[in-house]
Amino acid sequence: MNNSEVESIAPHLNYISFPDFFFKGIEGYNKLMLSAEFYMAFEKSRYILIYQLDAWVFEDRLTEWCSKGYDYIGAPWIRRKVYDWPFVRQYMQLKSFYKKISGQPDKQMLYNRSGNGGFSLRKVSSHLKAADECIGIIGEFTSKRRYHMYNEDVFWSVIVNKHCDFKFSYPGYREALEFSFDKHPAYCFDLNGKKLPFGCHGWSKKEMYPFWKDIINL
């Protein structure tokens, strides 16, 4: 990676490198974000902010969010009202039953959980401890076939508390909306009292860009 442009803007930044394997696809990235090696590199820091290239920050509220003490914060995977429609609700119940008897992960366990890892705040000590304590579970998790329910943020948002002796703390989905939006940003904006969050993720994706194009004016 050529850092010359960044160095010209912020010459005093420190850089930490990891093996190329971790950046050659989603599989490698998931393994990096679930590894003790990654969090150990930042063990002198209380928090790290994961900021992928399709993230955006609207206001400097990082200190405020760090002061809340949560272990993990990401944009919540919002459960929309359409799932309360009788036909849709019945369909989702049947789908959930099928997932259970077939031993497959059910997407519905993510609803209103915090959340998406592309723009996320992580307490280093908690993640390092869990990465060490749950190394066997993490190995099994990352060995699964390529499927979004086995992404690293699903582990940190839901799975970790099923296997670790200590429990991660998270904001409720309403508070998490003040941190970030991901999918369905217009709906999230309404739920958040028509206020922008600290940041967002996925703004340049086709389905999200129509909402963000007039707000993120490049």
CATH number at residue 160: 3.90.550
Cα–chain center distance at 92: 24
pLDDT of residue 8: 85
Residue 89 lies in a domain: no
Q: In the chain, what are the helix, strand and coil shares in percent, each to the nearest 5?
A: 45, 15, 40
Q: Cα dist. 217→126, 141, 199, 214 in Å?
A: 37, 39, 15, 6
pLDDT of residue 10: 82
- Helix 135-142 with 124-133: angle, nearest 10 deg: 80
Identify the CA nearest to 180 among candidates 33, 59, 30, 48.
59
Residue 205 lies in a domain: yes
CB 33 within 8 A of CB 122: no
Domain count, the chain: 1
Task: Say what the pTM is.
Answer: 0.88
Residues of the chain with confidence (pLDDT) below 70: 1, 80, 82-85, 87-89, 91-93, 95-100, 102-103, 105-106, 108, 145-147
Residues 6+ apart with CB under 8 A from 171: 68, 70, 73, 114, 179
Residue 83 lies in a domain: no
CB atoms within 10 A of CB 199: 24
- Domain around 138: 4-77+112-212
Residue 100 lies in a domain: no
Residue 43 lies in a domain: yes
Residue 53 lies in a domain: yes
Residue 217 lies in a domain: no
| Beta-sheet pairing, 199-201 with 180-181 | parallel
pLDDT of residue 91: 59
Please state whether the peptide bond connecting residue 115 to the residue before it is cis, i.e. omega within 30 degrees of 0.
yes
pLDDT of residue 12: 86
DSSP 21: G
Residue 9 lies in a domain: yes
